[in-house]
Amino acid sequence: MGTKFSVQNFKKYLTLRNFLIAGIFFVIYLMFSNLAKAIVFMAIFTPLGMLSIKTTKFIPHVGVETVTATSFFMGYMFGWPVGAFFGLILGSYMWGSVAGFSQFVILMIGLNGQVAILGAWFFKLGWGFPIAYTVGMAIRNFSSWALGIAMGADPVSNIGHTVADVIWNMIIFSQLMFVLYDLVKFI
């Protein structure tokens, strides 16, 4: 049925070699702890992003996607390259695999990159996360609305998505982002 835990079974792993390996991993973790955190958050938020994009695709005139907010968070916390990687590369994968590529999808992917860069920029300016997030999402929502009009999108759909983005990203999902930011700063 399996090996029972005993002190002697455990003692055989307490060797100098294993301590050195653990020490090396610990030093590497300390050197790259922000990168490790970023990878963990990407692993958590990619499935959440896919689910939210599926929901956005199947509910007309409503946008509840989380990729944009997460791109801003990643850009603010870990720098624009990490945020842009999540927003542009993983965002392209998520949007492309769920909804295919269209003008709207390419616009959303571009806005993910925009907010990742804004997040990093606001961090460099020394803005607090709640203010930076709110301003970043406001800029993103205005950009989405204006570019939607410029692309000739259906006005009702464009307004519907913009209002839903304001409600979702700036009111509802922002609370999770604020708590997550406090948690990451604590860790």
The pLDDT score that the predictor gives to residue 116 is 95
Q: Is residue 173 part of a domain?
A: yes
**Interior CA angle at 70 toward 48 and 121, to 5°?**
170
pLDDT of 145-180, one tens digit each?
899 889 887 888 778 878 888 888 888 888 988 998
- Cα angle vertex 119, ends 113, 121, to 5°? 105
Identify the domain containing residue 62 by its residue range.
Answer: 39-186
Residue 115 lies in a domain: yes
- Structural domain includes residue 15: no
d(Cα 86, Cα 69) in Å, to the nearest integer? Answer: 11
Q: For the segment 83-99, what is each residue's pLDDT rounded down to a tens digit? A: 999 999 999 999 888 87
User: Is 50 a domain residue?
Assistant: yes
Identify whether 30 is part of a domain. no
More confident residue, 30 or 80: 80
The alpha carbon of residue 128 and the mean position of all alpha carbons in its chain are separated, in whole angstroms, by: 18
- The mean pLDDT value for 5-11 works out to 70
Residue located via tokens 């965002």: 91
164 within some domain: yes
Would 29 be classed as within a structural domain?
A: no
CATH number (domain holding residue 107): 1.10.1760.20
What was the pLDDT predicted at 5?
64
Is residue 3 in a domain? no
**Nearest one of 88, 101, 96, 95 to 65, comparing CA atoms:** 95
- At 128 the three-state DSSP class reads coil
Q: What integer best gives the mean pLDDT of the chain?
A: 86
Residues 6 or more apart from 162 whose CB is under 8 A from it?
A: 141, 144, 145, 148
pTM of the entire structure?
0.80
In the numeric block, the tokens 């390996």 are attached to 21
Q: How does residue 3 score in pLDDT terms, banded at 50, 70 and 90? A: low
Q: According to the model, what pLDDT value does residue 9 have?
A: 72
Q: How many domains does the chain have?
A: 1
pLDDT band at 53 (very low <50, low <70, confident <90, very high): confident
**At 19, phi and psi to the nearest 5?**
-65, -40
Q: How many CB atoms lie within 10 A of CB 94?
A: 29
Burial class, 101, CB count within 10 angstroms (exposed 0-12 / middle 13-18 / buried 19+): exposed
